Amino acid sequence: MIKYITKRLMMGILVLFGTSILIFTIARVVPGDVATIALGSRATEAAKEALRREMNLYDPLPMQYVKWLSSALSGNFGNSFVTKRPVAMDVAQFLPATLELVIVSGIFMVAGTFVLGILAGKYKNTWADGLIRVLSYIGVALPAFVAGILLLLLFGYKLQAIPVLGRLSASLTAPGKITGFYVTDALLRGQFKVAWDAFLHLLLPALSLAIGPMVQDARILRSSLVDNSAKEYMAVSTGHGLPPNLLIRKYLLKPSATSAVTTMGMDFASLLGNAFLVEQIFNWPGISRYGINAMLFKDLNAICAVVLIIGITFFFVNLVVDLIVAALDPRMRKGGGK
């Protein structure tokens, strides 16, 4: 197991190293003068020269990368050209909001996948299976931002049942920062009204992100359940008269969940990137929305930081998924250790 984990860690580190080289190179070789892009054509030549020296633009590109990577590893991504603050300070401010959104969305996705997948597998070729199949087709064709707009129009404006903008109602004060997650911080401080309001604000953007991958992953789980239910060991277990629910829970679900867990892991990591437009729609002050603004204003330091954060997220999610899959199927662990 240790050999398996070590191999996955080394592969992940190599991928992150390659990602850092790629995003740095793209940020440095964009057409035009980097200082002019960052400060605008109206900036004085003295300001542009100072920025060129600050970003080590006169050094050879490999040396620029070494200096940038050294600073990035210490948490220094330089200053944002838009907010005029250190990028690390911006990340510390905006990242918790996106992480809270992604975690809640991931919970919805995982719970919905198993509920819908098990229902479709248990009642295959029935109306329930057909309905879930139709939902999966819709989920494939429905981008997260479209789902967000539909949910916003329905629940936010038509029914006016759920708050739709921001993280908290204007009449309430944000809880003191402990984790940066409003719901968690409010609960820890005993501010239950604030916690409930923050959770309601999370509902629609989290569902917007979760709906698509949830119904698609449910179909994957359903297919695995149906395939494994036709195998000999299931026929023997069924012949012994075991209840259907026990068969699914004890003998069928574990081997069938491997492919679905792998896909859900990738979908969970993708939520951070998919949140760009959803955060814009719901006025959610997160790192993804910050990344969009960085791209629009060509804020190169901020872009590098955001892309690297997404890469690190994929790395850790990949590692966790590999460990879960290895626990579900020891054959994967043995194969990965070769």
Tell me: the pLDDT tens digits for 1-56? 677 677 777 877 888 888 888 888 877 776 667 777 777 677 778 877 887 787 77
In whole angstroms, what is the distance from residue 69 CA to residue 319 CA? 23
In whole angstroms, what is the distance from residue 144 CA to residue 150 CA? 10
27 Cβ contact list (under 8 Å, min separation 6): 34, 300, 303, 304
Q: What percent of the chain has pLDDT over 90?
A: 7
Name the more confident of 220 and 34. Answer: 220
Name the more confident of 338 and 313. Answer: 313
The torsion angles phi and psi of 38, rounded to 5 degrees, stand at -75, -45
The whole-chain average pLDDT of the chain stands at 81
**CB neighbours (10 Å) of residue 70?**
10
The string of DSSP letters for 71-130 reads: HHHTT---B-TTT-SBHHHHHHHHHHHHHHHHHHHHHHHHHHHHHHHHHHHHTTTSHHHH
* Contact criterion met (CB below 8 Å) for 182 and 167: yes
Quick: pLDDT tens for 274-298: 788 888 888 888 888 888 888 877 7
Which amino acid, residue 141? Answer: A
- Give, in order, the Cα–Cα distances in Å from 230 to each of 122, 185, 234: 12, 48, 7
Name the more confident of 183 and 82. Answer: 183
Whose structure tokens read 């240790």? 2
Q: What is the mean pLDDT of residues 94-117?
A: 90
What's the pLDDT score for residue 199? 92
What's the pLDDT score for residue 16? 82
**CB neighbours (10 Å) of residue 2?**
7
Least confident segment among 21-35, 68-82, 164-178, 188-202: 21-35
Query: What spatial distance separates the first Cα and last Cα of the chain, rounded to whole Å?
Result: 11
114 Cβ contact list (under 8 Å, min separation 6): 218, 221
Q: What is the mean pLDDT of residues 145-174?
A: 84
What's the pLDDT score for residue 333? 55
In whole angstroms, what is the distance from residue 175 CA to residue 187 CA? 9
Name the more confident of 336 and 326. Answer: 326
Name the more confident of 130 and 40. Answer: 130
